[in-house]
Chains A and B, each alone.
Chain A
């Protein structure tokens, strides 16, 4: 398939503004400070520098409260940074949102319960004035893509959690975005469903060639899916490390990859980055899922 070749991540450090338009996401010196009720402030993010190349799969990993979801919300322009600059395909985050440059999926599927599966998937198309017949054709493609062709007329309350999340992913893909933002989309699923969804996500991503920013707190999930794992740490939320994983072309990754030596090396590298070298032998650390 037409998966774009992985670009060397060394290019991430070269801040040449004209080249930004070819990058999916460029985050420069971003800070987000929340002001509490009694004037108390919480620094959710500070000094964030991040580049996501076109077609690249980047995971954000870290313990609870490290600001990984906040960073994703900033890129999606669901929230605004208190300092710094965010570019999505060379545009401001706000313009990118208005231009529908990205698709988004949340931890909760967030389907509209009064709409059928098909009507949920076509929601963004409907809002943006796509004609009925074009919508129907696109929905048929998407339910096929996520393996729910027989369920197009069902309602969300008739679906399992994994199926609902598939619908949410299909909806995020409706307008063929070049960038997918995913905030722990498999966080609420059981382990078996989760692994199958991961494999499916890799297949979908290989077919669409979209860049993905994927928030997770599961180390194996990050390693299995990503080209690059960005490790974050809390209080204040910041990026502490970036690890190139690149286990192979997305389309070629299968279930047996999970038992591959390279996979375990990746897991170890990310774990050490999260907790320091001594922690890898000590085992699980607080706040991070090491399943």
Chain B
């Protein structure tokens, strides 16, 4: 009874099976390498170029420190750079998590209640155009100059906006055919949310998270320029620059670059994994 079509199917199905046969396990790893190696190569090339120019033209350190001098400072101050990176990184991470959680919760509320959606979206749009780090001095006086709270708040506000907007859009991306299907299954609203709405929204949420991760790092770092405890990357950069230790300032900048890269790469990998089968 299955005689006729089976032969036809077999011949039709074989080629795609061959084509698709590759190790599924090594794909995220290969993606990660493909993601991280090119910028590192470019970075090295640029560094060599700058070294050449600085040495050849005899540029003074306060104009442009030579990469070799920066490297020397980086090695000498490695524990301090690491310490400062961890402080700023922790602020950015806590801010990112808080901003993302609030962003997701408000997006869920806004997607369910039209009226709240109408109230929230203009406010979020307003928040998005305000330079958040400008709030730093005000928040420092509110929470005291020895507290990291102000920086965390700044990072979380910066992270909140893209997470909220992307998640809200994602929650509205359910295809009509999937809604019809869920209705034909007489699925409860809760089942529909779990089976269709959340999986449809996830890739959008992770896109928002990727954008938010960079903003959180930048905001947490730049907020340190305006005061507060002197232990993060931003504080270290201003301190070094103020004491004319230009190469050391650059060493801390490298810490900032690495921190930004780590946040970006991790969230990008998560985003790719989440939107694998789209």
Contacts and interface: CB of A to CB of B under 8 A. Distances in A.
A150 B4 CA distance: 18
Which size bracket describes the interface of B in this complex?
20 to 34
Contacts of A78: 180, 183-184
Contact of B180 (A106, A113, A157): A106
A78 B8 CA distance: 35
Contacts of B9: 147-148
A168 B191 CA distance: 20
A268 interface: no
Interface residues of A, number: 42
Given A147-B6, A254-B4, A106 B177 contact: yes
A258 B277 CA distance: 38
Interface stretch (A17-25, A120-128, A279-287): A120-128
Given A78-B184, A97-B184, A110-B177, A147 B277 contact: no
Contact of A113 (B2, B183, B277): B277
A203 B1 CA distance: 7
Contact of A200 (B5, B16, B181, B196): B5
Contact of A104 (B16, B178, B184): B184
Nearest to B177: A110
Contact residues of B: prevailing secondary structure: helix
Contacts of B202: 114
A104 B195 contact: no
A35 interface: no
B55 interface: no
B5 A127 contact: no
Task: Output the residue of A98, A100, A114, A203 with the most chain B CB within 10 A.
Answer: A114
A76 interface: yes
B5 A100 contact: no
A154 interface: yes
A108 B177 contact: yes
Contacts of A263: none
A98 B183 CA distance: 9
A100 B187 CA distance: 11
19 contacts: A1-B1, A77-B183, A100-B185, A104-B180, A106-B180, A108-B175, A110-B175, A112-B196, A112-B199, A113-B277, A127-B187, A127-B191, A128-B185, A147-B5, A148-B13, A155-B276, A155-B277, A157-B278, A203-B4
Given A157-B278, A203-B1, A254-B4, 15 more contacts: A1-B1, A97-B186, A98-B186, A104-B180, A108-B177, A110-B177, A112-B178, A113-B278, A123-B195, A147-B6, A147-B9, A150-B17, A157-B277, A200-B5, A203-B5
